[in-house]
């Protein structure tokens, strides 16, 4: 567990207030982009992502280290990222030339936010529809790739705490087989500093590692195992490094050890 201090609580409260007020201000200020070309709102959300990283650094003492940025191939791309926190939903935006996220359909119903998501041509998925959601998602996915965009998906579908057993869904295999473009795996340890449902924000350095792109055309089972093993191995190493640093910086008196993620188990899952 983390060592919680008064400073952490106060800084977390200040950040949360600033984050949501800032979100509202950006929504209102971005209204003119609704009548502008799509690239205008994409530029805005990428700037918003950078601003949030600045707020985290200034208020909470949370920095970020990017590894492997040179591995991002140009042009259309499938990006499969580990999902531990809300952090990556904005932090990954500035990395790509023309990003679009695959997100749950309910987010499209949020006033203003849903309008901008549609304007930016984010890809909405109706989770309740089961396999029936695959066809419309595939059509939107193909259109995004045809426009040369980078499609970001969280293959586990929801946030997983650091060290939790991975739960990769087969939707990523469906998209990979259909896309015929490289898949870029992304590992990270954001959940150590911004918990999946927690209020507190702990100081430290979030590390994001972009791994070797997986070329198109692999057998589905081979791709699924490689993707999971690559992401989980790299994520476990990042979480272990972050955990050691948190332990080293915690006050000796009463500081509890942060549990490092265990190395991933050999994947026995098979794509169907």
What are the DSSP calls for 176-187, one per residue? HHHH-S-EEEEE
Question: Is residue 122 included in any domain, yes or no?
Answer: yes
Cβ distance 124 to 104 under 8 Å? yes
CA–CA distance, 225 with 221 (Å, rounded to integer): 6
CATH number at residue 222: 3.40.1130.10
Q: Is the pLDDT of residue 132 over 70?
A: no
What is the DSSP-derived secondary structure letter of residue 30? T
pLDDT bucket at 109, cuts 50 / 70 / 90:
confident
Q: Two tokens at 38?
A: 């799509």
Encode 59-73: b = buried (16+ Cβ within 10 Å), e = exposed.
bbbbebeeebeeebe
The boundaries of the domain holding residue 21 are 6-249
What are the pLDDT digits (tens) for 45-99?
Answer: 999 999 999 999 999 999 999 999 999 999 999 999 999 999 999 999 999 999 9
SS3 207: strand
Q: Give the range among 34-38, 103-107, 175-179, 253-257 with minimum mean pLDDT.
A: 253-257
Question: Is residue 258 included in any domain, yes or no?
Answer: no
pLDDT bucket at 265, cuts 50 / 70 / 90:
very low
Q: Is the pLDDT of residue 111 over 90?
A: no
The pLDDT of residue 128 is 67
Question: Is residue 265 included in any domain, yes or no?
Answer: no
The pLDDT of residue 89 is 93
**What is the three-state SS of 84-118?**
CCCHHHHHCHHHCCCEEEEEEHHHHHCCCHHHHHH
What are the pLDDT digits (tens) for 200-239?
Answer: 999 999 999 999 999 999 999 999 999 999 999 999 999 9
The whole-model pTM stands at: 0.86
pLDDT bucket at 106, cuts 50 / 70 / 90:
confident
Question: Is residue 267 included in any domain, yes or no?
Answer: no
pLDDT bucket at 251, cuts 50 / 70 / 90:
low
What are the pLDDT digits (tens) for 13-45?
Answer: 999 999 999 999 999 999 999 999 999 999 999
Domain count, the chain: 1
What are the pLDDT digits (tens) for 156-196?
Answer: 988 999 999 999 998 899 999 998 999 999 999 999 999 98
CA–CA distance, 188 with 85 (Å, rounded to integer): 10
The pLDDT of residue 73 is 95
Question: Is residue 263 included in any domain, yes or no?
Answer: no
Question: Is residue 272 included in any domain, yes or no?
Answer: no
pLDDT bucket at 1, cuts 50 / 70 / 90:
low
């Amino acid at each position: 567990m983390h060592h919680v201090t008064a400073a952490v609580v106060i800084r977390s409260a200040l950040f949360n207030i600033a984050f949501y007020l800032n979100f509202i201000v950006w929504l209102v200020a971005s209204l003119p982009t609704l009548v502008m070309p799509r690239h205008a709102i994409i530029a805005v959300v990428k700037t918003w992502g950078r601003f949030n990283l600045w707020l985290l650094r200034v208020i909470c003492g949370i920095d970020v280290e990017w590894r492997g940025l040179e591995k991002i191939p140009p042009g259309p791309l499938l990006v499969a990222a580990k999902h531990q926190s809300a952090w990556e939903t904005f932090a990954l935006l500035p990395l790509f030339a023309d990003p679009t996220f695959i997100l749950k359909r309910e987010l499209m119903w949020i006033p203003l936010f849903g309008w901008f998501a549609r304007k930016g041509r984010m890809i909405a998925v109706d989770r309740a529809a089961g396999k029936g959601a695959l066809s419309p998602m595939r059509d939107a996915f193909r259109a995004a790739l045809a426009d040369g965009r980078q499609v970001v998906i969280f293959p586990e579908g929801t946030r997983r705490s650091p060290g939790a057993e991975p739960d990769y869904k087969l939707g990523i295999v469906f998209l990979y087989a259909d896309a015929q473009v490289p898949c870029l795996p992304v590992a990270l340890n954001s959940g150590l500093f911004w918990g999946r449902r927690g209020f507190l924000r702990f100081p430290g350095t979030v590390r994001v590692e972009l791994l070797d792109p997986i070329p198109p055309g692999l057998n589905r089972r081979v791709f699924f195992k490689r993707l999971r093993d690559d992401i989980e191995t790299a994520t476990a190493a990042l979480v272990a490094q972050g955990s050691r640093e948190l332990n080293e910086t915690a006050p000796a008196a009463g500081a509890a050890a942060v549990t490092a993620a265990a190395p991933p188990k050999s994947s026995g899952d098979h794509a169907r």
